[in-house]
Every structure is written in C-alpha cells, then in structure tokens.
C-alpha cells in the first residue's frame, strides 16, 4: 500500500500537480480517517494546499514562496472538479492578448454561478458572476481561446469577450482608465462582426461605454460595429458610473456625447 507521499511524488513525475480526494482515497486504499490525517500532515508541511473541498494542489519547492502554482495551471481541473464552466477574463486575459500594461496577481474568472473567491498565498482568484443565459450564449469555441501552460490548457476569453467583460466589470479592471488602457492596447485586434455578436448578450450600457472607448482610442471599425446598440438606449448614462457629483448641479457641466448617449463625467487618461 503506497503512502500519500509516494502518491504525490508519482503524480509530479507524471507532470500532474493536483488531485481530488476521491481519486487519491481510491488509489491509496486508506481508511477515510487515516487519509484525512495524512492530508492534514501534508498541508501543515506545506506540501499541499486545498483551494476547494476535495481538491488539492501539490506544491513544488518553487511554488511554496507564492503559496500556490500559477492558477492557469490548475483552474481547468478545479472547475471540472466542481462541474462548472468558466473563462479567464479581465486583466489576465488582457495581458494574454497583448495589453502589456496589465500585470496583476489577481486572477479573474467569469462563471455562471455565485462562487466564493479563493486566496492562496500571493494568488487571489476572483469569481465574477454572469447570468447563466448570457454565459451560455458566450462561452462558445468561437469566442473563447485556449491559454497554454505546462500543465495543459485553460479557457480564456477571446479579445472580444475580454473587452466586453472589462467594461461590464470595470470596477474589477482598474476602473474606467484601466479599461481604456486595455481598449487602446488590444481593441484593434477585435473582429467587428464577432464583437457585435457577443455584445448582444451584454447590458446596453456596457456596450455603449465600450463603443465610446473604442472610438476614443481610434479603433473606428470596432466602434462602428457597436453603433446599432445605441438605438436601443432610452436614457443618457455616465461614462463612469462610479463617479458621483457632490452637488447635483455639477452634473450639468459634463460633456454630453449624443452619439453614444453618454455623459462624459471623467477625462480618460492612459499611458502612452
């Protein structure tokens, strides 16, 4: 009967640094109490971490400083373990697509269920909820790419979904200026037709804000693809809804962009 340490070494030798409690218990033929005690010892020795119930990560020496391997190496098996579809998006996806200004230890994942965030050492996984109906329309092969790691592949939002997600969840993407930087960096790579198709599953407000930022950044083809959505808008909205005027009268001094039906209540600034 192999010990847990031997089992972990064997997994690592095969290039796998994760496992479920059920598969390990079956392989080791231990009684549940003995298995739980062995797991607890390995966690105390910092050989294992447990991001979700019944799912474990094996820490190589180089992972122990950060507290866990890069999440791109284990997000796919974790989500399969939970039976939930997903896509990596926002800052990590923007960096993947070439937004060189994006560097963050926060790993953001869009999912169709409410999930608790995960913090492991220096790594933070943030789960962003999207309605199951919209998620099902969007998490398709033509809109989602594959991010390769030394442990396999993980689903990552394509350029079009990355742009739309960043605007939709702008408060998680370094604010409007952070989103503007991403739009400037990668907006020209978006396919206009694909962008318009994906935009139909998002709130009209997010689509109009993205259209404005694309136009502001000089990505005219992509911006024009979103112009038809403005016809569905009934009211003016603020470019940055996080900015609240101290006095109501101050709202009148902001530029009003009739084309996108937006009040430009913040000056957009990005790095050159």
Q: Are 204 and 232 in contact (CB under 8 A)?
A: yes
pLDDT recorded at residue 253: 56
pLDDT recorded at residue 247: 47
From first to last of the 272 residues of the chain, give the pLDDT tens digit: 579 999 999 999 998 999 999 999 999 988 999 999 999 999 999 999 999 999 999 999 989 888 999 999 999 999 999 999 999 999 999 999 999 776 677 899 999 999 999 999 899 999 999 999 999 999 999 999 999 876 689 999 999 999 999 999 999 988 999 999 999 999 999 999 999 999 999 999 999 999 999 999 999 999 999 999 999 998 999 999 887 665 444 555 568 899 999 999 888 988 77
pLDDT recorded at residue 90: 96
Q: For the segment 39-60, what is each residue's pLDDT rounded down to a tens digit? A: 999 999 999 999 999 999 999 9
HEC letters along the chain: CCCHHHHHHHHHHCCCCEEEHHHHHHHHCCCHHHHHHHHHHHHHCCCEEEEECCEEEECCHHHHCCCCCCHHHCHHHHHHHHCCCCEECHHHHHHHCCCCCCCCCEEEEEECCCCCCEEECCEEEEEEECCHHHHHHHCCCCCEEEEEECCEEEEEECHHHHHHHHHHCHHHCCHHHHHHHHHHHHHHHCCHHHHHHHHCCCCHHHHHHHHHHHHHCCCHHHHHHHHHHHHHCCCCEECCCCCCCCCHHHHHHCEEECCCCEEECCCCCCCC
Q: Are 97 and 189 in contact (CB under 8 A)?
A: yes
pLDDT recorded at residue 30: 87
pLDDT recorded at residue 86: 98
pLDDT recorded at residue 94: 95
pLDDT recorded at residue 243: 78
pLDDT recorded at residue 208: 97
User: What's the rounded Cα separation, in Å, for the pair 44 and 188?
Assistant: 49
Domain ranges of the chain: 4-60, 72-264
């Amino acid at each position: 009967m192999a010990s847990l340490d031997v089992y972990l070494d064997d997994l690592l030798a095969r290039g796998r640094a994760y496992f479920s409690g059920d598969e390990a218990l079956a392989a080791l033929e231990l009684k549940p109490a003995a298995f739980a005690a062995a797991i607890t010892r390995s966690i105390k020795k910092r050989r294992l971490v447990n991001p979700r119930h019944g799912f474990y990560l094996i820490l190589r020496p180089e992972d122990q400083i950060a507290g866990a391997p890069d999440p791109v190496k284990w997000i796919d098996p974790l989500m399969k373990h939970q039976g939930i579809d997903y896509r990596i998006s926002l800052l990590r996806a923007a960096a993947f697509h070439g937004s060189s200004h994006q560097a963050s230890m926060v790993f953001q994942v869009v999912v169709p269920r409410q999930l608790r965030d995960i913090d492991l050492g220096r790594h933070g996984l943030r789960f962003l909820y999207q309605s199951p109906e919209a998620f099902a329309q969007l998490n398709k092969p033509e809109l989602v790419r594959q991010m390769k790691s030394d442990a396999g592949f993980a689903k990552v939002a394509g350029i079009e979904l990355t742009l739309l997600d960043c605007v939709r969840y702008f408060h998680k993407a370094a604010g409007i200026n952070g989103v503007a930087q991403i739009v400037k960096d990668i907006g020209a790579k978006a396919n206009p037709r694909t962008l318009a198709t994906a935009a139909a599953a998002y709130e009209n407000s997010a689509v109009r804000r993205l259209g404005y930022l694309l136009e502001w950044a000089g990505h005219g083809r992509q911006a024009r693809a979103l112009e038809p959505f403005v016809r569905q808008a009934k009211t003016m909205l603020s470019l940055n809804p996080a900015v609240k005027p101290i006095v109501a009268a101050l709202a009148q001094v902001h530029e009003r962009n009739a084309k996108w039906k937006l009040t430009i209540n913040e000056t957009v600034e990005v790095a050159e």
